[in-house]
Every structure is written in structure tokens, then in C-alpha cells.
Amino acid sequence: MPYLILILVLILLVFGPQWWAHYTFRRYAKPVPRIPGSGAELARHLLDRLEMQSVGVEKTEAGNDHYDPQSRTVRLSPQNHDQNSLTAVAVAAHEVGHAIQHQRGEALLNLRTRLVYFAAAAQKFGAAALVIMPIAAVLTRAPSAGLLLLVAGVGSMFLATLVHLVTLPVELDASFNKALPILRTGYVSAEDEPVVRKILRAAAFTYLAGSLASLLNLWRWIAILRR
């Protein structure tokens, strides 16, 4: 029974934030007639208003809303790109918030960009190390070699998760120091602001949700290697 409770708690910790973020986005994704334009139109308008005409706005696959600092592009999923919902407006403003961070050369965004690339490289290295580990142990006939690769693999994947966690302040800044003040200047009503706050919080915690979910992949690797 205690093990079952522990498993349920771990599942809640890993999937809870991700479920909550997706639930929040879906809940407020219905078109709202009082919102005059789509998420893409709002993003384009805000970028032009802020004299960032060089930043593009593109449609991307579902669930992959982001700002790409390399190509200087705000990318919105189809629903947020095309619809005039509260989710579309809030997510578009959040991604424009990252564009503002980039335009201003803010250190937090620069740090996050470097860390995310580092995290991606670390995850690839970790996965490769875990695949190579049993082969190296057999070829070298040295258990220590396999153990070293195991530690390196697990450590790099865990480190990649931590890297994503430390980017949370960047996301919160984009939501509440950039997007929300802009949206308050006539883009959302006082009636809609509490909902917009929820969506902006969900947008900020998307990286956290993904990082916690990645821990499950790490656990799966460990479970496989223990067999």
C-alpha cells in the first residue's frame, strides 16, 4: 500500500503541472466574439507597435508555441495562431514577451537560450551513454567502464531536467512583467484579466511541466537497465 501511494504521488508530481497547463489552455481556447483578432494578428500588432518589425510570426505544430531567438520568430500553434480566444491572446502576448527580452538583450533570456541548447546536448549524450554502456562493459570486460557510462548517462539526463527548471524565472518575466502589462493597456477587459492571469501562469510553467515529465523518461531508462 505505501508503494502504491508513493507511485501515485510521483505520477501526480510528474504529470500534474503538465495536465494543469494543458487543461487551462483548452478550457479558454474557445473563440470569444469581443476579442477583435486572432493570436497571430495580436502578435503582429504588438511587434509592430514595439518597433520590432523584423520579428516574424509563423504557425507551428500544435502544442509548440515558442519564440525562436535564432530566426527571431514568434511561432504559434494553429489554434492560437488562427483563433480569437483568451488562450490565443495570452499565449501570443507571452511569446511576444520573449521577443521583448531578446530585443532588450536581457541576460536572463540569453542564459536560458544557452541552457536550453546545453540541455538538449546533455540529453542526447545521456541517451547515447545509456545505449553504449552494456556494449562497453562487454567489450572491455570492465564493469567500472559500464558503471562510469551509466553515471554519466543518468547524470546528464537529470542535469538537463534541472537546466529546464532554472529557466522558470525567464518564463514568469515574459508572462507577468512583459505580457500582462501590455494586455492591460486595452487588449483585455478587467473582467477577463483573472482568466488571462491563469493562462499566462500556465504558459510560464510549460517548461516546468515538460521538465518534470522528462523525469519519467529517465526513470524508464533506469528501470530497463536494472533488468
Residue 183 pLDDT > 80: yes
Range of the domain at 16: 2-226
Q: Can you give the pLDDT at residue 117?
A: 76
Catalytic hit among 51, 95, 171, 193: 95
**How many structural domains are present in the chain?**
1
How do residues 193-213 score in pLDDT, each as one tens digit? 999 999 999 998 887 766 666
85 beta partners: 31
Could you tell me the pTM of the whole model?
0.78
Q: Is 58 a catalytic residue?
A: no
Per-residue pLDDT, 139:
67
Alpha-carbon distance of 96 to 73, in angstroms, equals: 9
For the stretch 168-173, contacts whose Cβ atoms lie closer than 8 Å and that sit 24 or more positions apart, written own/partner, are 168/204, 168/205, 168/207, 168/208, 169/108, 170/98, 170/101, 170/108, 170/109, 170/111, 170/112, 171/203, 171/204, 171/205, 171/206, 171/207, 171/208, 172/204, 173/97, 173/101, 173/106, 173/108
